[in-house]
Chains A and B, each alone.
Chain A
Amino acid sequence: MAQTAGTARPPFPNYTQIPTRVPGWVWFALRAASIATALAVALLLVVNPERGRVLLWQVLVPSLPLVMLVVPGLWRNLCPMAALNQLPRMAGFTRGLAHTPQIREYSFVVGIALFFVLVSSRKWLFDGSGVASAALVLFGLGGAFLGGLVFKGKSGWCSSICPLLPVQRLYGQAPFAVLPNAHCKPCVGCTKNCYDFNPSIAYLADQYDDDRHYVGYRRVFAGALPGFIYAFYTVSTDESLPQIYAHFGLWCALSLALFQVLDVFLKLPRNRLTVVFGAAAIALYYWFVAPAMASGVEQLGGVSIPPAAPWALRTVVIGIALVWIVRCFRTERLFLEHVIQKTAQQGARVGENAAQAMRRASSRQQAEVVIQPDDQRIAASAGQSLLEVIEGCGGEIESGCRMGVCGADPIAVREGMENLSPAESDEKSTLERLGYAPNTRMACCAKVQQGRVAIALKPERRKLPEYPTSSQYDANIKDVVIIGNGIAGITAADYARRRHPVCAIHVVAEENHPLYNRMAITRLIYGRSAMQGLYLLPDKWYEEREVTCWLNTTASAVDPAAQAVTLATGDTLRYDRLILAMGSSSFVPEIEGHGGAGCFVVRSANDAMEIRRYAQATQARQAVIAGGGLLGLEAAYALTKLGVQVTVLDRNPWLLHRQLDEPAGQLLRRYLEGLGIAFQVSTEIRRVARSDDGHIYVRLSTGIEVPADVFIVAAGIAPNIALAQACGIATRRGVIVDDHMRTDVPNIYAAGDVAEFDGRIPGLWPVAAEQGEVAAVNALSGDRTYREPVAFTILKVVGADVASVGRVNPEGDGEEVIVHEDAAEYQYRKLVVDRSGRLAGAILIGHPTLMSGVTGAVKAQRDVTAELASLKVGDWSALQAT
């Protein structure tokens, strides 16, 4: 809500905001009368000093402090000195000068000094002399008038050197009744923190000023005042002049010292002590002056005042002073609350354009995701995945494939499951593998559609821990051995157990980690979360499924005749069925000079951690990555995040040659360059050289030489086939399998990156998972034919938003290609439609909302003949996820 200006009265109104009850001409008349009265008093003081002195010193002056405390505005408006001071301004003959810095600094001090000197001089001078008193009155009137002639506003007297000003400022700070300034029309800004301008805040503003001297003058006055008053009524007029002033000086000093000590030790809010001292001074004053006042009224009025009257006055004043203290304290609290927030560093603001844009954005986002237990409420637009939503608000979540196959990002849906896109097959099998409670979803796949969804970032355990296994199984199978603990091996173990509740299942794992998210290992290079974040299975996964996992153990030989696997530990595992899931290693082509310190590949978690360690230990500044494929680019981004300047080399003319066409590759390149990655394309590495001090230089076919503290080869994969070759299993690049994942040796199957089916080794996670499942089903006497999943890849570099699915280039004539590019907006989308009108492939850059719909449609090879016309003109709503 905007501030409700005008409706509510501000807590500290200035004089234009305070209602005026007395018309201007009344003030005018009253002021004329007040000047006349002052002159008359002066006259009386001369002609009848006796009565004059009583009138001035026993009646008029003693009344003033109370007026200044209760209705300070009354005196400000009525004071004859002020009236004369303002005469030149009204009549238009003031010079209207501003104060010089010196005057500004010391005028208030002069006022204080005048007050102390003049009042203390009453003792020997004014109290006893009508003429002197008359002169004093005239001095005040004349001084005020002269000041008004020279200086602007009230700065010639009333707001500068007037001896009554310190008293008025101190006591006027919490008026019981506020009368607005009737003088200044308009304000000319003559004085700092003007009382006449803003009565209720002026004194506090003084007290909280940054300038300690400015504050100090005012505090000294308040601190000395009680002592001064006491001195006034205890000094003996018989003393000599120096003694009289010494008496005043002593008491003022005592009073000030007390003030200082209390100030230091009580640690009160700044204005409290001044208020307390002010109240003490005024109570003290009326305590002493009350009898004199009573007698003054008696003398002048010729009436007799009851003897209790002074006591009554004392009591009343003490009462008022106490109430005043409370009012002052309250005002200060209000001031602190209200003013500190106004004056403390104000946040920067945004302008109207931003407001408009925000309104527009708000109206677009209909859905809402609530993240428990903090109940963070995120506004989401339809089609956003929970993963995007969580990442966007900085929530703690892991991710890998971003397409439901790796299992990195399970979350619990607490409310609103019906408002999410339903789980599809990839996600379903991942969920089955993980085995959490039924309310679990993979955040990357669950897209918010509408309404409210409440989630928790930790998935819940399943109530029934037993594992659903089939009751019919092949009892002849007693031992299943799986070599490899990657996704192919683990999926195989999972399905083996589902199909066979009692057989022994052994998984031999060379690495020292349970199944982890290989796709996310580049995060180990730069991220804060270490290995822990990459583990993909719940704690007791192996245990619950009675799968024996041999971590850190290499299978060194297979004996197909004996149906046994020998481990490097010397153990032997007998098998009825063997599944080879050894995955692959990084392919490193022959490069002259390659090898040694600083040369790396990125295949395993340990590789990634070693790169991080090495880069930090050697304070690597530059890196070269050979290969502009998915892995190369992800590694490049990771090293950039470590602060390393990265150059990516590729022999092809554009990046992600297998997944993108040229314009898309170029667009991506510009984006990555924006992130600080450099590229050399259409080039080959000639050799790797080392300088004398061991620095690596990569010499390119273009003649360029790139220095590298770290050199990473990301040039594809080499399946781990040595073990299979050694025991006579047929291999080419990989272990050759049929559509049941059988090798040519009975009872031996292969799956994942190690397997070559139909001459192809896609080297993709979903393929490995699917093959692992098919291998296990068939190994355990089932019958499942493998169908290769449609290739789908995402570049896991922040903000790159690149997805490629299926076949991205047309083959032969008659295929339809639809391309829409908006390079300035970082958007590119392409569809390949085959001759029969079915979707064969797509590229999406910068179209997050199209992602799930388009990839789903391509995977399903949807017939788009009917929508072709609208797709061509850029309307892809038919493909948007529902």
Chain B
Amino acid sequence: MDFTSFFNYENPDREPESASPVFLAQLSESGWSKLLGYAQHRRFAQGETLLEAGEQSRDFYIVANGRLEAVARTEQGKEFLLSAIEEHSIIGEQSFFDGLPRSATVRALSDGELFRIDAKALEVMSARDPALARDVVADLARILSLRLREMTQRLLRIVR
């Protein structure tokens, strides 16, 4: 695991926080409004389960506000926290790409709202607004690829 954020020697006052990639950082606000036009707008309440591990659905979500947590269960049935999901995060993009069952359960820690983009929305987007759809897919791919790199890096540390 990587603990560098707790040993931020150059900038000790910074919040320990991993530098997460930004999705469509270059997209303008009107571009985003367009994108959200293809999305479904959902509200959630504290305690609600939004995604269930093992479920199959081809969609990803953008958290507009509220906090969520992703938990996974070991084979022995022990639940452990995978990550805390803050507002303005993207979740579920992995299943969106591979269509395989969700690997984690996502629960709401507070009330909030999110936007959902499913395969159908992307299909419509690519027919109406091919450039935008291309950007969405390319940027999601970039993020997944960054993850893969991170994993490779980590693997290198582990197998050393």
Contact = CB atoms under 8 A, between A and B. Distances in A.
Interface in B107-152: 110, 113, 115-116, 118, 120-121, 123-124, 126-130, 143, 147, 150
A344 B7 contact: no
B36 to A, nearest CB: 5
Nearest to B124: A799
B90 A347 contact: yes
Contacts of B3: 193, 201, 205, 208-209, 339, 343
Given A189-B9, A194-B7, A362 B41 contact: yes
Contact of A348 (B32, B89, B126): B89
Nearest to A153: B9
Interface in A16-68: 16-17
B10 A348 contact: no
Contacts of A674: 126-128, 130
B23 A350 contact: yes
Nearest to B30: A357
Interface stretch (A370-378, A556-564, A776-784): A370-378
Interface string B93-109: 10000000000000000
Interface in B71-107: 80-91, 93
Contacts of B82: 340-341, 344-345
Given A198-B7, A205-B7, A799 B32 contact: no
A691 interface: no
Nearest to B83: A344
A350 B16 contact: no
Interface in A748-772: none
B81 A339 contact: no
B22 A349 contact: yes
B88 to A, nearest CB: 5
Contacts of B154: 210
B92 to A, nearest CB: 9
B12 A798 contact: no
Interface string A701-734: 0000000000000000000000000000000000
Interface string B55-67: 0010100101101
B29 A379 contact: no
A209 B1 contact: yes
A188 B9 contact: yes
Given A198-B7, A672-B127, A674-B126, A351 B22 contact: yes
Interface string B13-50: 10111101111110111111101100011111100100
B12 A187 contact: yes
A331 B91 CA distance: 30
Interface in A160-207: 187-189, 192-194, 197-198, 201, 205
A208 B17 CA distance: 18
A531 B129 CA distance: 34
Nearest to B113: A362
A354 B88 contact: yes
A416 B44 CA distance: 19
Interface in A661-687: 671-675
A355 B84 CA distance: 19
A349 B13 contact: no
Contact of A349 (B23, B30, B69): B23
Indicate the member of A5, A376, A674 with the most B CB atoms within 10 Å. A674
A362 B27 CA distance: 19
Interface stretch (A7-15, A235-243, A288-296, A536-544): A7-15
Contacts of B8: 14
A213 B160 CA distance: 8
Contact of B32 (A15, A212, A356, A365): A356
Given A209-B1, A339-B3, A394 B42 contact: no
A268 interface: no
Nearest to A640: B123
Given A211-B160, A826-B128, A343 B2 contact: yes
A392 interface: yes
Contact of A210 (B1, B20, B21): B1
A343 B128 contact: no
A353 interface: yes
A466 interface: no
Contacts of B43: 368, 377-379
A467 to B, nearest CB: 39
B88 A341 contact: no
A337 interface: yes
Contact of B12 (A14, A368, A671): A14
Nearest to B29: A353
Contacts of A341: 69, 81-84
B66 to A, nearest CB: 8
Contacts of A340: 1, 80-82
Indicate the member of B3, B65, B80 with the most A CB atoms within 10 Å. B3
Contacts of B115: 358, 361
Contacts of A354: 23-24, 27, 32, 62, 88
A774 B44 CA distance: 48
A342 interface: yes
Contacts of A353: 27-29, 31-32
B13 A377 contact: no
Contacts of B93: 348
A463 interface: no
A378 B36 CA distance: 14
Contacts of A193: 3, 7
A211 B158 CA distance: 5
Contact of B57 (A14, A392, A394): A394
Nearest to B48: A375
Contacts of B22: 348-351
Contact of B9 (A197, A212, A358): A197
B42 A393 contact: yes
Indicate the member of B9, B59, B85 with the most A CB atoms within 10 Å. B9
Contact of A339 (B6, B21, B89): B6
A674 B116 CA distance: 22
A803 to B, nearest CB: 16
B54 to A, nearest CB: 16
Given A348-B22, A362-B113, A357 B29 contact: yes
A672 B123 CA distance: 11
Given A3-B86, A351-B24, A356-B29, A210 B15 contact: no
A17 B41 CA distance: 41
A38 B124 CA distance: 78
Contacts of A1: 67, 87, 110
Nearest to B20: A346
B40 A392 contact: yes
B53 to A, nearest CB: 15
A201 B41 CA distance: 41
Contacts of A16: 12-13
Contact of B143 (A194, A348, A368): A348
Interface string A319-343: 0000000000000000001011111
B64 A358 contact: yes
A605 to B, nearest CB: 23
A350 B90 contact: yes
A347 B36 contact: no
B127 A345 contact: no
A189 B9 CA distance: 5
Given A350-B22, A353-B27, A394-B116, 10 more contacts: A201-B3, A205-B6, A342-B5, A343-B1, A345-B83, A350-B89, A351-B25, A358-B62, A379-B41, A672-B127
When A and B form their complex, which 7 residue pairs have the shortest distance between CB atoms, in order from nearest?
A799-B124, A674-B127, A189-B9, A357-B32, A210-B157, A347-B89, A392-B40
14 contacts: A2-B87, A3-B17, A210-B154, A210-B158, A212-B158, A337-B81, A346-B20, A348-B22, A348-B93, A355-B88, A357-B32, A358-B115, A361-B64, A394-B57
Interface of A: 1-3, 5, 10, 12, 14-17, 187-189, 192-194, 197-198, 201, 205, 208-213, 337, 339-351, 353-362, 365, 368, 375-380, 391-394, 671-675, 798-799, 826, 846
